[in-house]
Amino acid sequence: MQRYEPIWEHYPGVLVVPETDVLFVGAGERLLAYDLAQPARLWEDVADTGFWSWTRHGEVVIMSAELELAAWNLEGTKLWTTFVEPPWSYEVTDEVLELDIMGVKSEFSLRGGPESR
């Protein structure tokens, strides 16, 4: 059984990666990943101040939260995480992530993260 505390207008979200049988779940401040083939929980994490969404960009899964942007590979291994502060947004073009935090723009490798600038 799973439960969560609703935060403002943030709703639970899931993303399934059919090729690897990995399920990503976000609700409130809880983040979880499951191996659907076993079945087994892979990990549990926290999204401080609230989860927003999961989005898949090719071989990378992006998690958006109020104060965090993070990426995992399709097997559920975390690639990177970075602090963000509202208002913020991002776009992915090819393998480049363009991040805008309060008007300050940066770009980096989708797989490599902010340290790969």
Domain region containing 70: 13-84
DSSP, collapsed to helix, strand or coil, labels residue 33 as strand
| Any domain includes 23 | yes
Instruction: List C-alpha distances in Å: 2 to 12, 27, 28, 48, 109.
Output: 11, 9, 11, 18, 34
| Any domain includes 64 | yes
| Any domain includes 110 | no
Decide if 55 contacts 61 (C-beta within 8 A).
yes
| Any domain includes 95 | no
**Structure-derived torsion over alpha carbons of residues 27, 19, 56, 23, reported in degrees to the nearest 10:** 0
| Any domain includes 43 | yes
* Prediction pTM value: 0.91
CATH of the domain at 39: 2.40.10.480
Between 2-6, 40-44, 55-59, 87-91, the lowest mean confidence (pLDDT) is in 2-6
| Any domain includes 72 | yes
State pLDDT tens for residues 75-102. 999 999 999 999 999 999 999 999 999 9
In the chain, the number of structural domains is: 1
Pairwise CA distance, residues 54 & 89, whole Å: 14
